[in-house]
C-alpha cells in the first residue's frame, strides 16, 4: 500500500516577490495571493538582474514570481551548495520561445504560469512550485548529509587503526571502543573519530 506524502497546502504568511515590468499582470495575481494570505513584495524592473542582498529572503517563507519576458539573470542564493535556488521560482510565461523558457529554467524556475494570469491558476501553480521545491531541497539535504558521512567514514577507518595500534586490539574491539566513547560524548562515531584523528595529527606536528 502506497503512503501519500504530506503536502504543503497553507500559504498564509508566505511572501511572494513579483519581478515584472508589466503592470497588467498585477491585479489578478495580487488579489488572488492576498486571498491566500500571501504577502506581496513588488519589484518593478526591466531586467531580472537583481542582487538579493537588497531583498532579504527566507527559504521557509519566500517564493519568487519571475517574468519570463525580462532579460538577464537573477542572482538568487543557492541551497546547500547546490544548483537549486534557495526559494521556489515561478516563471510567468508570455512568449513560449525556447530561449525565454530556458532563461527561466536557468534562473531556477520549476513551475510556470501562463500570461495573462487568471485567478483560478494561481493556487495550483503556487502549490506545485512550493511542494516541488520542498521535495528537491529535502533530497539535496539528504544527499549532502550522506556525502558528509561518507567523508567522515575515512576518519573512522583512521581512528580504528590508531586504537588498534595504541591498545593492541583487533579492528572489531577498536570500533567498539570508539562507539562507546562517542556515546559517552553524546556525538556520532564519525564526529568522535574525526576529533581523535585531528588531535593525533596535531601532536605529530
Give the CATH number for residue 150.
1.10.10.10
pLDDT of residue 144: 86
* Residues 132 and 186 occupy one common structural domain: no
pLDDT of residue 44: 81
* 101: helix, strand or coil: helix
Give the residue from 142, 160, 176 where a domain finishes: 142
Q: What are phi and psi of 68, to 5 degrees?
A: -70, -10
Would you call the peptide bond into 68 cis, given omega within 30 degrees of 0 as the criterion? Answer: no
Domain for residue 7, yes or no? no
**Cell numbers that stand for 67 in this block:** 517574468
* Residues 120 and 92 occupy one common structural domain: yes
* Residues 93 and 178 occupy one common structural domain: no
Provide the CB-side half-sphere exposure for 90 (13 A, CA): 26
pLDDT of residue 72: 77
Domain range enclosing 194: 144-204
Domain for residue 4, yes or no? no
Mean pLDDT by 10 residues, the chain (205 residues): 70 94 92 96 74 79 93 82 91 91 92 95 97 94 86 91 93 94 92 92 81
* Residues 125 and 192 occupy one common structural domain: no
* Residues 67 and 134 occupy one common structural domain: yes
* Residues 125 and 161 occupy one common structural domain: no
pTM above 0.85, yes or no: no
Amino acid at each position: 500500500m502506497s503512503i501519500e506524502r504530506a503536502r504543503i497546502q497553507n500559504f498564509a504568511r508566505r511572501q511572494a516577490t513579483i519581478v515584472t515590468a508589466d503592470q497588467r499582470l498585477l491585479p489578478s495575481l495580487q488579489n488572488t495571493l492576498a486571498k491566500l494570505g500571501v504577502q506581496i513584495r513588488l519589484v518593478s524592473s526591466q531586467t531580472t538582474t537583481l542582487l538579493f542582498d537588497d531583498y532579504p529572503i527566507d527559504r521557509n517563507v519566500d517564493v519568487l514570481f519571475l517574468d519570463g519576458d525580462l532579460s538577464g539573470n537573477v542572482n538568487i542564493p543557492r541551497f546547500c551548495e547546490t544548483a537549486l535556488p534557495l526559494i521556489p521560482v515561478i516563471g510567468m510565461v508570455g512568449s513560449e520561445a525556447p530561449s525565454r523558457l530556458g532563461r527561466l529554467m536557468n534562473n531556477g524556475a520549476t513551475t510556470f504560469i501562463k500570461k495573462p494570469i487568471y485567478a483560478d491558476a494561481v493556487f495550483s501553480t503556487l502549490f506545485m512550485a512550493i511542494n516541488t521545491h520542498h521535495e528537491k531541497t529535502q533530497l539535496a539535504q539528504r544527499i549532502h548529509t550522506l556525502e558528509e558521512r561518507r567523508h567522515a567514514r575515512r576518519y573512522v577507518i583512521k581512528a580504528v587503526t590508531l586504537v588498534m595500534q595504541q591498545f593492541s586490539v583487533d579492528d572489531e574491539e577498536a570500533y567498539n571502543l570508539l562507539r562507546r566513547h562517542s556515546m559517552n560524548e553524546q556525538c556520532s562515531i564519525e564526529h568522535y573519530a574525526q576529533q581523535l584523528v585531528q588531535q593525533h595529527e596535531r601532536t605529530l606536528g
